[in-house]
Amino acid sequence: MRKINEECGVFGIFGNENSDVARSTYYGLYALQHRGQESCGIVVNDDGLFNSKRDNGLVNDVFTAEVLEKLGEGNIAVGHVRYGTAKTKGRANALPIVVNHIKGRMAISYNGNIINAYDLRCELEMDGCLFHTTSDAEVISYVITKERLKTGSIEEAVNKAMHSIKGAYALVVMSPSKLIACRDPHGLKPLCLGKTNEGQYVVTSESCALDATGAEFIRDVKPGEIIVIDKNGLRTIEDHVGEAPMKSCVFEYVYFARPDSVIDGVSVHKARKRAGMYLAKEFPVEADVVIGVPDSGLDAAIGYAEESGIPYGIGFLKNKYIGRTFIAPGQSVREDKVRIKLNPIVDTVKDKRVVIIDDSIVRGTTCARIIRLLRNAGAKEIHLRSSAPKFLNPCYYGTDIDSRENLIACKHTTEEICEIVGADTLGFLSVENVKKIAIEAGEDAFCTACFDNIYPTEIPKETKKYRYEDKISVAKMKENEEKK
């Protein structure tokens, strides 16, 4: 359903004794559902006893009233929604992960990608460690547990573990008595903090999940910061703060996050509107109406309309009832002819010069189809604008961008793309301007590697790619590797 996929949304709540933390987490996961539709999970901590439910499916499918009832009351809970990459599919990989170690139980909810997970796992396996999943979260669990044996507290173990774990992560760790949250030193993944009227603390990927649970936004977690919440209140460990320059993912603003969220101090809706305004400045055109591709192109369309003075219109009706089991048109029916998911509103576009804003152009096939729909609806001219720059490079931080051979911008010039998708004119937002859409966070505060190939961290060697295959153990792979 979505063109580009994020791996996860995380949620943690530290409540009062016997409170309905499961239900709050459930609401939070609903708000984060756009960040992962493959599986979801909640772990409730009732004074050291962990009850959990994790399964493939939407929040709506997995958490029925009965399931929620069974999770019971507790004082702490963590939750997770996951988009499953090839590497992490399957119910066994559903998060939050729950493990038992020498000091008791631990649950981990996690968003990101660990660059050196492969090497860490090899070392651990060499030491006799067993792995039940292919998830980075299990590697993280081991690293924290190994540190825990040498140190006096779980938060100190997390602090030490952050020296070993490289990459992008927003982490929520639940021990029998504490809730700990941390963000990688670059702040590649978002994480924020809130508090309810009843004094419950909430940490989560996006502020919209705070709204969903009735918590007030306090502040974003700083890059490298560790937040510790227990019955004595909230403390912060800043040993890793400032260790690296902030480089948060700009694509959160362009596409991933919900427009009603505020990330690192910037409204996502506002950032998108600005992207539209910059587009209007970079690629002005005479036209009768500006429309957006629902849903994530709408905010930028408003911005383009406002900046250009061209009226904003509603160009499409999106069918909101189409669910998971929808049977798409196949051989017998050409998809172009049936307009089930998206239907143009003829009155808006007929005989008009139309500017249409899409959030991004990945393979170009969706764009082409949308432009055909507009042509058939009688649009006179079609001016396509992408509120993301051209996708040219892979992401190593958890975003599932297509391989280069599938990225249309890797193989074609703007002019060629324009012709391929069938537009009259085409413009991509410049990398220069995309960095300014959330200017309040600082002009240089973003990772834009997918557009400009500048990665804030070391990146994994290509040869390790096959670790994600399921056939053999990592150690066997290493052997194979060495033989080559």
The token pair at 45 is 């901590």
CB nearer to its own copies: give 292 or 456: 292
CB nearer to its own copies: give 134 or 159: 134
CB nearer to its own copies: give 64 or 453: 64
Cα(79)–Cα(11) distance, integer angstroms: 5
One residue of 25, 116, 248, 267 binding its own copies per CB under 8 A: 267
Closest approach of its own copies to the CB of residue 141, in Å:
6
The token pair at 29 is 């996961």
Cα within 13 Å of Cα(299), Cβ side: 22
| CA 165 to chain centroid | 20
Q: Does 462 bind its own copies (CB under 8 A)?
A: no
Q: Which residues 1-30 are close enough to bind its own copies by CB under 8 A?
A: 20, 23-24, 26-27, 30
The token pair at 34 is 């756009």
What binding mask, one character per residue, do residues 132-171 give for its own copies by CB under 8 A, x or -? x-x---x--xx--xx--x----------------------
Kindly list the distances between the CA atom of residue 169 and the CA atoms of 107, 435, 453, in Å, as whole numbers in the listed order. Answer: 16, 21, 20
Following DSSP, what letter does each residue of 316-354 receive, concatenated? EEE-TT--TT-----SSS-TTT--SSEEE-HHHHTT-EE
CB nearer to its own copies: give 8 or 212: 212
Cα within 13 Å of Cα(197), Cβ side: 3
Q: Does 265 bind its own copies (CB under 8 A)?
A: no
∠276-278-281 over CA atoms, to 5°? Answer: 115
One residue of 332, 405, 461, 483 binding its own copies per CB under 8 A: 332
Stretch near its own copies under the rule CB under 8 A, chosen from 31-39, 181-189, 352-360, 416-424: 31-39
Stretch near its own copies under the rule CB under 8 A, chosen from 102-110, 391-399, 431-439, 444-452: 102-110
Stretch near its own copies under the rule CB under 8 A, chosen from 120-128, 359-367, 440-448, 458-466: 120-128
Stretch near its own copies under the rule CB under 8 A, chosen from 179-187, 235-243, 260-268, 446-454: 260-268
Long-range contacts of residues 281-284, Cβ cutoff 8 Å, at least 24 apart = 281/307, 282/427, 282/429, 282/430, 282/433, 283/383, 283/385, 283/425, 283/427, 284/308
Q: Does 104 bind its own copies (CB under 8 A)?
A: yes
Q: Which residues 410-429 are close enough to bind its own copies by CB under 8 A?
A: none
Closest approach of its own copies to the CB of residue 280, in Å:
14
One residue of 42, 43, 59, 367 binding its own copies per CB under 8 A: 59
Closest approach of its own copies to the CB of residue 145, in Å:
5
One residue of 241, 244, 285, 346 binding its own copies per CB under 8 A: 346
Q: Which residues 276-295 are close enough to bind its own copies by CB under 8 A?
A: 295
Rg (CA), the chain: 23
Q: Does 390 bind its own copies (CB under 8 A)?
A: no
CB nearer to its own copies: give 185 or 194: 194
Cα(159)–Cα(80) distance, integer angstroms: 22
Q: How many CB atoms neighbour CB 333 within 10 A?
A: 11
One residue of 232, 320, 461, 483 binding its own copies per CB under 8 A: 320
Stretch near its own copies under the rule CB under 8 A, chosen from 42-50, 154-162, 400-408, 452-460: 42-50
Q: How many CB atoms neighbour CB 453 within 10 A?
A: 10
Q: Does 128 bind its own copies (CB under 8 A)?
A: yes
Q: Which of 8, 40, 395, 450 is catalytic?
A: 8
Contact predicate 243/185, CB 8 Å = yes
Q: Does 461 bind its own copies (CB under 8 A)?
A: no
| Parallel/antiparallel/unpaired status of strands 289-292 and 353-358 | parallel
3-state SS string for 8-24? EEEEEEEEEEEECHHHH
**CA quadruple 99, 105, 110, 114: dihedral positive or negative?**
negative
Number of residues that bind its own copies (CB under 8 A): 100
Q: Which residues 168-197 are close enough to bind its own copies by CB under 8 A?
A: 176, 197
Nearest in space to 315 (alpha carbons), one of 285, 277, 353: 353
The identity of residue 349, as a single letter, is: V
Q: Does 329 bind its own copies (CB under 8 A)?
A: yes
Stretch near its own copies under the rule CB under 8 A, chosen from 3-11, 181-189, 362-370, 465-473: 465-473
CB nearer to its own copies: give 94 or 423: 94
Q: How many CB atoms neighbour CB 221 within 10 A?
A: 24
Indicate if 8 belongs to the active site: yes
One residue of 13, 31, 174, 445 binding its own copies per CB under 8 A: 31
Q: Which residues 437-456 are close enough to bind its own copies by CB under 8 A?
A: none
Catalytic residue ranges: 8
